[in-house]
Amino acid sequence: MAEHASHDHAHEAHGAHAHHPNYVKIWAILLVLLIISVAGPFLGIQIVTLVTAFGIAIVKAYLVVKNFMHIDVAAKLVTYLILTMLLFMLLFFAGAAPDVMESHGSNWEKPSWIAGTAHPEAPAAGHEESH
Partner 1 sequence: MSAAADRPIATGRSATGMPTGRLAVWWIIASEIVIFGGLLGSYVMHRLAHDAFAEQAAHTNTWIGAFNTFVLLTSSLFAVQAHKASDEGDGKKAARLLYYTMAGGVIFLVVKAFEWTTEIQAGYTIASNTFWSFYYTAAGIHAAHVIAGVIIMGIVAQTAKKNLELQRVELIGLYWHFVDVVWIFLFPLLYIAK
**What residues from 20 to 79 belong to the interface with partner 1 (CB under 8 A)?**
20, 23-24, 27, 30-31, 34, 37-38, 40-41, 49-50, 53-54, 56-57, 60-61, 64-65, 67-69, 74-78
**Closest CA relative to residue 49, chosen from 36, 31, 33, 30:** 36
> Rounded to the nearest whole angstrom, what is the least distance from the CB of residue 4 to partner 1 in the complex?
6
Could you give the 3-state DSSP secondary structure of residue 15? coil
Of residues 86 through 115, those in contact with partner 1 by CB under 8 A are 86, 88-89, 92-93, 96-97, 100-101
Nearest to partner 1 of 5, 45 (CB atom): 5
> Rounded to the nearest whole angstrom, what is the least distance from the CB of residue 107 to partner 1 in the complex?
20
| Radius of gyration of the chain, Cα coordinates, nearest whole angstrom | 23
The residue from 104, 106, 111, 131 that contacts partner 1 (CB under 8 A) is: 131
Whole-angstrom distance, CA of residue 60 vs CA of residue 75 = 22
123, 130 Cβ separation under 8 angstroms = yes
Whole-angstrom distance, CA of residue 69 vs CA of residue 86 = 17
